[in-house]
Structure 1
Amino acid sequence: MNHNLALPKKKTLFTIILDILYEMRIKQWTKNLLVFASAIFSGAILNPSTLINAFIAFISFSFMASTIYIINDIVDVEKDRLHPEKRHRRIASGAISIPVAISIGIITFLIAVGLAYTINYYVIMAVLVYFVMNLSYSLYLKHVVIIDVMIIAAGFVLRAVTGALAVDGVLTSWFILCTLGLSLFLALGKRRHELLLFKDDPTNQRKVLTFYSVELLDQLITIITGVLIMFYSMYAASEKPAMMFTIPFVLYGIFRYFYLIHMKNAGGKPEEILLNDKHILVTVLLFSILVVVVKKFV
C-alpha cells in the first residue's frame, strides 16, 4: 500500500466561510459606496438617522450585488476556468459547488430585499430593478456591444439613486448626470483593461470584446472624460460658490485614473484602484470631507 498518497483535507468552518465571502466578492462592495453620495451631497451624512438608513441601503445593495456575482459565476463557470484570474473564483475552482452556490444566492437575495424593506418601498423597488437589469445582463445583454457598457454604468447610477431614495436626499438632474458620466468612465476603462488582458490570446476573451478595439475605447474614454468634467463643473457652479473649490479634486481624481488606465494598464477593477492607489484614495476622502463641510457649514 502506498502511504504517501495525500487524502483531501476536510474543510473547516472557517475556510467554508472564507470561500463564501470570497464568492460574494466583499472587496467589490466598495463600488456600492456610491449609495452614500446623496447623503454626502445633501450635507446630512452627519445626521444619525440619515447615516443609519444610508448604511442599511449600502448593505442591502451589497447583498443584491453578491447575488448577481453568484449568478454570473454560475452562468460563466466554464469560461471563467479559462481566465487567468477568474479561474480562482470559488465556483470556477470547484471550492463551492453549483447547488451550494444557488443556495447562497437565494439567501443573499432574501437578505437584500429584507433590509430594503426596513427602509421604504422605493428602496425595495430600486434593488429589485438592479437585480432584473443585471440578470438580463448576465444572461444576454453583456454580449451586446455598447449596451453592455451602458448597463454597467446604469448599475452605478442606480446605486446613487438608491442612496437618495433611502435618505430622501439629493436627486437632481445634475447629480444623476455626474453619476452617469463617472459610471461610463469606469465601465469603459474596465473594457479597455479586459481587451488588453487577452491581446495575445483573444480566443479566451468575452464575446463582446471582439466588437471593440483599444482605439475605439480610448476615443470613448476621452469623450466621456470631457463630458464628466463639464457635468461636475456645471453642477458645482449651480450650487454654493464654495462648491467650486471641490472641482480641483475632481479634476485630479479623473486625471489620475486616466493616467492609471493608459500608463499602468489599470481599470479592470475600480474597487482595487480605490483601495490600493493612495492618490485616488486620499483625493476621494478629501473631496468627500470638503463637500460635507461646504454643504453643512458654509
Structure 2
Amino acid sequence: MSRDAVPLCVDLDGTLIHGDLLVETCVALLHKNPLYLFLLPWWLLHGKAHLKAQVASRVLLNHAALPFHRELLQWLADEKRDGRQIWLCTASNQRLAEAVALHLQLFNGVLASTDTLNLSGKQKAEMLVAKFGNRAFDYCGNDHVDLYVWSVSRGGVVVNPHGNLEQRARQVTHVYRTFGSPEHHARAICALLRPHQWAKNVLLFVPMAAAHRVLDPIALGHAALGFLAFCLCASSVYVLNDMLDVEADRQHPRKALRPFASGVLPLTAGFALIPLLLLGTAGIAWLLPIQFGLALAGYYLLTLAYTLGVKQVVIVDVLFLAGLYTTRIIAGAAAVAVPLSLWLLLFSMFLFLSLALVKRFAELQVMQRQGKLEAAGRGYRLDDLALLESLGTGAGYMCVLVLALYINNPVVEMLYRRPEVLWGLCPLMLYWITRVWVVSHRGQMLDDPVMFALRDRASLVIGVLAAVVIYLAT
C-alpha cells in the first residue's frame, strides 16, 4: 500500500495550531465572565469531556484568527492535492473541531471529543483502529500521549517535539516527517514580560528627586526596591492581559506577533508565570514601608480592573491609565517616606491623561488604515478621532498650566535658590506636548507614547534641557 493510499489523521491542539483549544476557550470564558471560575471545577468533576462540552457551548472563537502551524498546513494541502485523505482527529470538543474544519476546508472528516467521550490517548488509538484498522493510517501529533496512537499507526509525523518525544515516537512507528517549534521559549518569555515597559516605573524616583534626596543612599535603595517590585507586578499584569486579549491581539497588525497571539508560547505558560511574578512582588514589598505595599496593592487592583473590562469603557479607560501612572508617583513617595505634593499629582494626572488619549488615538488610526470601524477590544470608533485629539491636547496644556501655577507658588522659593529659572520648563513642556500630538495627527505615533518619548531624539533633548533648567534653579 502506498503512503498516499493511507489516511493521514491530524491532531489539532499543539499540532495544527500552536496552543490548546480547551485553554483558549477557558480563558475566553473567564474574560467573558470571571465568575465562571467557580463553575470550571464543578464541570471537571463530571469528566474532562463534560468540561470541554460546557465551555465550548458558551464560547465563540474566531477560528480564522487561530495560530495555525503554517508550514504544516501547506504540507497537508499538498498531501490533499495528491489525493490523500486527511482527517482531523482531536481531543477538542466536536463543536470546535468542526468549526476549524469548516474554516480550513481541508479534511475528509472529523473525529473529536463528544459530550461524554474525551478522545485522547488510548481512546483515540482505539477509535482510529476501529475506523481504519491496525497499522492502516498515519498519525500527526505533538505530545507524549500521542504515543498510544503512534504505536498502532503505520507511520508518524511529529510536530513541535519536546524532550525525547521524537526518539520515543521512532521506537513505536516509522516517523517520516518532523516539523519544529517556531521559537525558543526563553526569548518568548522575555518578550511576554515586556522589560522595555519597565522604564515607566522610573516615575517611582520622581518624589525622591522632587524632595532633593537623590544623594540619600537609603532613599535611593528603597526607591530601587520599589522600582523592582513594580516591574514584577506590572509584568504579571502584562501576562494576564495578553492571555485575556489573545483573540483581539490576533486581529492587530503588530500585537499579533506577541507570544500568546502568535502561538509561540502556550497560554498555559501564563498560569505558571503570573503566580511566580506576584510572589516576587510580595517578597520585595515586604521589605518596604506598609504604605508602599498599600499603594502597590492599589496599583495591582486598578490594573486588574482595567484588564478585566475597564479598558473597554470609553473615557473611563484613559482615566484609569492616567491613574496608574500617578499611582507610581504615590508609591514612590511612600517607599522613601516623603510627603506627597498635590501639585505633582495634578501635573501627573493631566500629563498622563493626555498620553493615554494619544494611545487610543494611535490605535484608532491603525484601525482606520485597515478599513475597520472600531478598535478590537475597545469602545472607540473612527468618528471619535477628532474628539480624542481635542481632549488630549486640552489635557496636555492643562498640565503646563498646573506647572506654571506651581512655579508661581511661594512654597517653591523654599525649595529652589533661583525659582524664576523654572519658568524655562513651561515652553519646553508646551513644545513637547504639541510635538507629541502633531506626530500623532500625522499617523507616526507608536501605540505607546511613553515608549515613543524614550526613543524620540527630540523628546530626549527636551528631557536633558529640562534637567538643566531644574539644576540651574536648585
**TM-score, normalized by length of structure 1?**
0.90
Whether the 8 Å CA contact 1:117–1:123 is kept in 2: the answer is no
User: Where does residue 438 of structure 2 map in the other structure?
Assistant: 259
Q: What is the aligned length?
A: 292
Q: Using the alignment, how far apart are the partners of 2:246 and 2:449 within structure 1?
A: 23
User: Where does residue 180 of structure 1 map in the other structure?
Assistant: 349
In structure 2, relative to structure 1, the CA distance for the partners of 1:10 and 1:229 (3 Å cut) is closer
Q: Using the alignment, how far apart are the partners of 1:166 and 1:48 within structure 2?
A: 13
Judge which range, 254-263 or 148-157, deviates more. 254-263
User: Where does residue 208 of structure 1 map in the other structure?
Assistant: 379
Instruction: Specify the code of the residue in structure 2 equivalent to 1:281.
Output: L
User: Where does residue 331 of structure 2 map in the other structure?
Assistant: 162
**Structure 1 position 234, deviation (Å):** 1.0
Whether the 8 Å CA contact 1:249–1:283 is kept in 2: the answer is yes
**Structure 1 position 6, deviation (Å):** 5.2
User: Where does residue 60 of structure 2 map in the other structure?
Assistant: none
Q: Using the alignment, how far apart are the partners of 1:212 and 1:79 within structure 2?
A: 21
Q: Using the alignment, how far apart are the partners of 1:206 and 1:62 within structure 2?
A: 25
Whether the 8 Å CA contact 2:286–2:293 is kept in 1: the answer is yes
Instruction: Specify the code of the residue in structure 2 equivalent to 1:125.
Output: L
Could you say what secondary structure the match of 1:209 adopts? coil
Match of 1:250 among 426, 429, 436: 429
User: Where does residue 286 of structure 1 map in the other structure?
Assistant: 465
Match of 1:97 among 262, 266, 277: 266
Match of 1:126 among 295, 307, 316: 295
**Structure 1 position 286, deviation (Å):** 3.4
User: Where does residue 241 of structure 2 map in the other structure?
Assistant: 72
Match of 1:86 among 255, 258, 262: 255
User: Where does residue 8 of structure 1 map in the other structure?
Assistant: 180
Is it true that 1:236 corresponds to 2:407 in the alignment? yes
Instruction: Specify the code of the residue in structure 1 equivalent to 2:388.
Output: L
In structure 2, relative to structure 1, the CA distance for the partners of 1:5 and 1:283 (3 Å cut) is farther
**Structure 1 position 96, deviation (Å):** 1.7
Q: Provide, for residues 55-77 of structure 1, a one-character-per-residue CA deviation record: whole Å limited to 9, x for no partner.
A: 11111111111111111111111
Q: Using the alignment, how far apart are the partners of 1:255 and 1:37 within structure 2?
A: 23
Q: Using the alignment, how far apart are the partners of 1:38 and 1:9 within structure 2?
A: 46
Q: Provide, for residues 91-115 of structure 1, a one-character-per-residue CA deviation record: whole Å limited to 9, x for no partner.
A: 1112222221121111111112221
User: Where does residue 211 of structure 2 map in the other structure?
Assistant: 42
Judging by fraction of residues, say which structure has more helix.
1
Q: Using the alignment, how far apart are the partners of 2:289 and 2:280 within structure 1?
A: 15
Instruction: Specify the code of the residue in structure 1 equivalent to 2:385.
Output: V
Q: Which has the higher contact order (CA 8 A, sep 6+)?
A: 1
Could you say what secondary structure the match of 1:235 adopts? helix
In structure 2, relative to structure 1, the CA distance for the partners of 1:136 and 1:86 (3 Å cut) is same
Q: Provide, for residues 173-231 of structure 1, a one-character-per-residue CA deviation record: whole Å limited to 9, x for no partner.
A: 11100010111011000010011110112366233113861111111012212211101
User: Where does residue 191 of structure 1 map in the other structure?
Assistant: 360
Whether the 8 Å CA contact 1:236–1:247 is kept in 2: the answer is no
Q: Using the alignment, how far apart are the partners of 1:170 and 1:246 within structure 2?
A: 23
Judge which range, 70-79 or 44-53, deviates more. 44-53
Whether the 8 Å CA contact 2:203–2:329 is kept in 1: the answer is yes
CA RMSD of aligned residues (A): 2.3
In structure 2, relative to structure 1, the CA distance for the partners of 1:61 and 1:130 (3 Å cut) is same
Judge which range, 139-148 or 196-205, deviates more. 196-205
In structure 2, relative to structure 1, the CA distance for the partners of 1:6 and 1:203 (3 Å cut) is farther
| Structure 1 unaligned blocks of 5 or more | none
Could you say what secondary structure the match of 1:46 adopts? coil
| Structure 2 unaligned blocks of 5 or more | 4-156, 158-174, 414-418
In structure 2, relative to structure 1, the CA distance for the partners of 1:246 and 1:219 (3 Å cut) is closer
In structure 2, relative to structure 1, the CA distance for the partners of 1:6 and 1:237 (3 Å cut) is farther
**TM-score, normalized by length of structure 2?**
0.58
